[in-house]
Amino acid sequence: MSKEIKRIAILTSGGDAPGMNAAIRAVVRTATHEDLHTYGIESGYKGMIEGNLTRLESKDVANTILRGGTILKTARCEEFKTPEGRQKAYESLLAFDIDAVIAIGGNGTYTGAYYFTREYDIPFIGLPGTIDNDIYGTDFTIGYDTAINTAVEAIDKIRDTASSHNRLFFVEVMGRSSGFIALETGIASGAAATFLPETNWGVDELMVLLKKAAIRKKLFNIVVVAEGNKSGTATELAKHVKDNFPEFDSRVATIGHLQRGGSPSAYDRVLASRLGYEAVIALQNGIYNKALGLVSGKVHFVDFLDAINKKKELDTEKIKMLDVLAM
């Protein structure tokens, strides 16, 4: 498929991630530089179905690079999962003479793009926008670095009160079924233990660790828990410790959606800007229906189906290092 691209639509879908606005800004300004027109689709695929498109110019994205969330709003849309919903979306894009769409989001966003492009002749480019960093085909996703920084900053503050009161804190971080955020947070915060969905490290190993700590009379510490780990939630783990080690004053802190908000880090701003720029250039070069990412600092494209179905693995050397440094 090859077609002249003159009008590009852009949307954000699924969970918001810091840096999405930087990507939107980069798309708009690159398109403007290339004498293309850009339209923002409000509220993701829902807005596409409803025809909620607005022309975007350079002035509309001024001072947005530092803003968290997404100026285009985001929403999950069950209707887009149906052929009838995608037909409505296609008709809306035709009404605005849209030639291509850039979709920023995660697995669900890519799934929508995959099915749409199988049925209709409007090409998509996907940009990885999720704090979870679980998208295959890119080393880092937009928002991931900021989410780690937010978690580490929170744990640094929690450590102060943990030390002051000799408390053991179980800190739960986001990530769905992947442990990328928890792994990096555990290393950067100097956690005593980190529970990851990808490992079998569990309650028994934690009990051994706490026994050693008790012998050294160290009754405060930090345990990082990925929300998708197999051994239980932070609350369940804290209860288990309280039942078996009453001498530990166990507490729970769930960082939650704080990790999705806030001004994006410098790294996320640069990453999002690079990906937004490269998406427009790719469309002009006839690269369609691909997910765009960076691998070892280089532009990398994968088919939507691979991005959706192939599993992105944690760095096993980092997991080993995590265990060694936590001893």
From-to residues of CATH 3.40.50.460 in the chain: 145-260
From-to residues of CATH 3.40.50.450 in the chain: 7-143+264-309
- Which pLDDT tens digit goes with each residue over 271-326? 999 999 999 999 999 999 999 999 999 999 999 999 999 999 999 999 999 988 88
**Which distant-in-sequence residues (6+ apart) come within 8 Å of 78 by Cβ?**
none
Q: Tell how far CA 248 is from the center of its chain.
A: 34
In three-state secondary structure terms, 86 is helix
Which architecture characterizes domain 7-143+264-309 according to CATH?
Answer: 3-Layer(aba) Sandwich (3.40)
**Do the Cβ atoms of 83 and 119 come closer than 8 Å?**
yes
Catalytic residue among 99, 132, 145, 268: 132
Active-site residue, 35 included:
no
For residues 311 and 236, what is the distance between their CA atoms, to the nearest angstrom?
28
pTM assigned to the model: 0.95
Reference 182, options 137, 156, 151; nearest CA is: 151
What is the dihedral sign for C-alpha 34, 273, 295, 256? negative
Per-residue pLDDT of the chain (327 residues; tens, 9 = 90+): 467 899 999 999 999 999 999 999 999 999 999 999 999 999 999 999 999 999 999 999 999 999 999 999 998 899 999 999 999 999 999 999 999 999 999 999 999 999 999 999 999 999 999 999 999 999 999 999 999 999 999 999 999 888 888 889 999 999 999 999 999 999 999 999 999 999 988 888 888 888 877 777 766 689 999 999 999 999 999 999 889 888 888 999 999 999 999 999 999 999 999 999 999 999 999 999 999 999 999 999 999 999 999 999 999 999 999 988 886
For residues 280 and 274, what is the distance between their CA atoms, to the nearest angstrom?
10
- Which pLDDT tens digit goes with each residue over 112-139? 999 999 999 999 999 999 999 999 999 9
Report domain 145-260's class.
alpha beta
For residues 254 and 258, what is the distance between their CA atoms, to the nearest angstrom?
9
